[in-house]
Chains A and B, each alone.
Chain A
Amino acid sequence: MKLVIPSIHYLAILPVLIFFGAALALVLASALARGKVPLGVATLTVIAAAAASIVANYFQWRCVAKAGASVTIAHAVVLDDFSVVASGVIALSVIMTALVAHDWAIRERVSGVEFHILALASASGALLMTQANDLIVIFLGLEILSIGLYVLVAFDRHRSTSSEAALKYFLLGGFASAIFIYGAALVYGATGSTNLSTISYFLGTNVLLHPGLLYAGGALLLVGFAFKIAAVPFHLWSPDVYQGAPTPVTGLMASIVKVGAFAALIRVLISALGTQLDTWRPILWILIVLTTLVGASLAVVQRNVKRMLAYSSINHAGFILLGVWAGTIRGTAATLFYVITYAPIVVATFAIVTLIGGVGDEHHSIERYQGLARRQPWLGAALAVLLLSQLGAPLTTGFYAKFAVLASVVDAGGGALALIALISAAIAAFFYLRWAMALYSDDGPEADRIVVPRATAVVIGFGVAVTLVFGIWPGPLVTLAQHATVLFTP
């Protein structure tokens, strides 16, 4: 019997290799140097690796432009513009998080080198998810992403909430993974393959006499994803984990998990199960209504800003799901546009929350923000802009992102759904504005001036610049997102 090794297109998996290779190199260096690798060197390694990955994305883009989308490694991994753009955003989020984590590790006197190693390894899982064309590859990406994050959440040894959050995240994350893979097993039984293209072809050419197995499998896959993106009613872990995790980790989770999970969700629902659109749409409808409304309403009653941002991110997850619900190319482009603009904003927001949290990472009540803009105008204004962008105010990227998903939903005949989402946005506006007003109030406590370290300042500045520049001039990003979805569905 001859063993056939599938051919590998190395350019396609280059970003994953770079990220994982850099993580291994740092582990090795840290072992050889007996744990005395300087933090700065590790931070630079992360930035270099992520930058190299973005360069690789550029060559991938050129390759796709020339040769079209392609699949490799026995059809398990896909290279198309969609994966290229999503990978680029993940690499960017990793750079931003690395800079914030650098200053955070110095302030908290924890070992930042391990932080960087875990962040790189996790991000390689997210990158794999954006390229996965097989349910098993999605599962592997999900696990690589999650296992690294479980440890990162527990990273702050000085604080008991950190390990408490990690245990919750781990138990519920493991539960979600088991549900996801059981769904994959049932879909495999119903269609005879775990490959997304093969599933799509099978469903397009056969009529299932007993679709129960497929429906059960699809539903379980959806539940698994809903856990990961924290859609209501599978969101219960999210506020606790967001609150307990070290703040830079929260930023990382909010960005790369969303990008990776939504990229994979789109591939599963639209590429593989596109023929079953009428079946999964009503389920997604309920999920979106619950996610947007519950996320926005519960955010209003929070006093802890990290919990507030957790519920806000639940609300955003509902909005991103809108584009998936549309099920059209336009909806997919809108979803992609939403995640590429949301990721830098949320990392920058958590960068500011990291600073205000102070030593010990514990001062996260909204009272700490009273009069911040009066004491430190630049920092306050930056936070106000980031909040307004999440709210969806005009002249920020948040506005176009919300507009694009809503337009795609109305286009696909979901007027009522768009209306409910808008109502939730109005509720969400209340707490974003309350927070922004607090920044400019006069009766703030006389707190010490918050020192903004240089690396974190760069991250905040970048986040604000992205949201303002592309808020006023969204053309390039819109073109990018649209272009990225033209060659979608291999």
Chain B
Amino acid sequence: MNVPAAWYLVLAAGLFGIGAFGLLTRRSALIMFMCIELMLNAVNLTFVTFSRTLNDISGQAIVFFVMVVAAAEVTVGLGIVVAVFRRRSSTSVDELSEMKG
């Protein structure tokens, strides 16, 4: 069975949309963080799809860069989440309201 490329693109756009929606509506820092990962993986799927349709290998190579960046972000991001959690015993971003104006 041959799945048209457009379907993959629609799937990727859907994943990206779910990620963006989740990031804007959820209040737990960890879930927001997972949403960013979801968005990055949607981007990877888009790159691979275009790489196939364009018959160009560079799109697949880019995916590795994006994966590395995502891994680096996880390292730093979890560190920051842990630092905040230690201080407040909560990862809800609603409680991050010391600064206003």
**Could you say which residues of chain A place their CB within 8 Å of the CB of B20?**
175, 178-179
Per-position 1/0 for B19-33, Cβ under 8 A of A: 110010000010011
Q: How far is B83's CA from A258's CA once the two chains are assembled, in angstroms?
A: 28
User: Which one of A30-38, A47-55, A158-166, A379-387 is at the B interface?
Assistant: A158-166
Q: How far is B46's CA from A178's CA once the two chains are assembled, in angstroms?
A: 12
Q: How far is B81's CA from A158's CA once the two chains are assembled, in angstroms?
A: 16
A375 on interface, CB distance cutoff 8 Å = no
A240 on interface, CB distance cutoff 8 Å = yes
**Could you say which residues of chain A place their CB within 8 Å of the CB of B42?**
182
**Could you say which residues of chain A place their CB within 8 Å of the CB of B65?**
136, 139-140
Contact A188 B77 (CB under 8 A): no
**Could you say which residues of chain A place their CB within 8 Å of the CB of B73?**
143, 147, 170, 174, 177
**Could you say which residues of chain B place their CB within 8 Å of the CB of A157?**
83
A480 on interface, CB distance cutoff 8 Å = no
A167 on interface, CB distance cutoff 8 Å = yes
Contact B99 A165 (CB under 8 A): yes
Contact B69 A139 (CB under 8 A): yes
Contact A164 B36 (CB under 8 A): no
Contact B101 A307 (CB under 8 A): yes
**Chain A residues touching B, majority SS:** helix
Q: For residue A311, which residue of chain B has the nearest CB?
A: B101
Q: How far is B47's CA from A372's CA once the two chains are assembled, in angstroms?
A: 56
Q: Known: A163-B87, A181-B43, A188-B47. Is A302-B101 also a contact (CB below 8 A)?
A: yes
Contact A189 B84 (CB under 8 A): no
Contact B99 A244 (CB under 8 A): yes
In the complex, which of the residues A171, A302, A304 contacts B32, with contact meaning CB atoms closer than 8 Å?
Answer: A171
**Could you say which residues of chain B place their CB within 8 Å of the CB of A182?**
16, 39, 42-43, 46
Chain A CB within 10 Å — which of B23, B42, B80 has the most?
Answer: B80
Q: How far is B47's CA from A178's CA once the two chains are assembled, in angstroms?
A: 13
Per-position 1/0 for B51-85, Cβ under 8 A of A: 00110101100100110010011001101110110
Give min CB distance, A99 to chain B, whole Å.
26
Give min CB distance, B89 to chain A, whole Å.
12
B93 on interface, CB distance cutoff 8 Å = yes
Chain A residues 277-313 with CB under 8 Å of chain B are 301-304, 307
Q: How far is B99's CA from A240's CA once the two chains are assembled, in angstroms?
A: 6
Please give the number of chain B residues whose Cβ is less than 8 angstroms from any Cβ of chain A in the complex: 42
Q: Known: A167-B81, A170-B77, A188-B47. Is A243-B36 also a contact (CB below 8 A)?
A: no
Contact B46 A154 (CB under 8 A): no
Contact B36 A161 (CB under 8 A): no
**Could you say which residues of chain A place their CB within 8 Å of the CB of B9?**
189
Q: For residue B40, which residue of chain A has the nearest CB?
A: A178
**Could you say which residues of chain A place their CB within 8 Å of the CB of B46?**
182, 185-186, 189
Contact B54 A192 (CB under 8 A): yes
Contact B47 A147 (CB under 8 A): no
Q: How far is B91's CA from A215's CA once the two chains are assembled, in angstroms?
A: 37
Q: Known: A188-B59, A194-B58. Is A151-B79 also a contact (CB below 8 A)?
A: yes
A168 on interface, CB distance cutoff 8 Å = yes
A150 on interface, CB distance cutoff 8 Å = yes
**Could you say which residues of chain A place their CB within 8 Å of the CB of B88?**
160
Q: How far is B81's CA from A151's CA once the two chains are assembled, in angstroms?
A: 11
Give min CB distance, B18 to chain A, whole Å.
12
Can you name 12 A-B residue pairings with CB atoms under 8 Å?
A136-B65, A140-B69, A143-B72, A143-B73, A150-B77, A151-B79, A160-B98, A171-B29, A178-B19, A179-B39, A188-B59, A193-B56
Interface residues of A (CB under 8 A from B): 136, 139-140, 143, 147, 150-151, 154, 157, 160-161, 163-168, 170-171, 174-175, 177-179, 181-182, 185-186, 188-189, 192-194, 239-240, 243-244, 301-304, 307
Known: A163-B83, A182-B42. 8 other contacts (CB 8 A): A163-B80, A174-B36, A175-B23, A175-B39, A178-B39, A179-B20, A189-B46, A239-B101
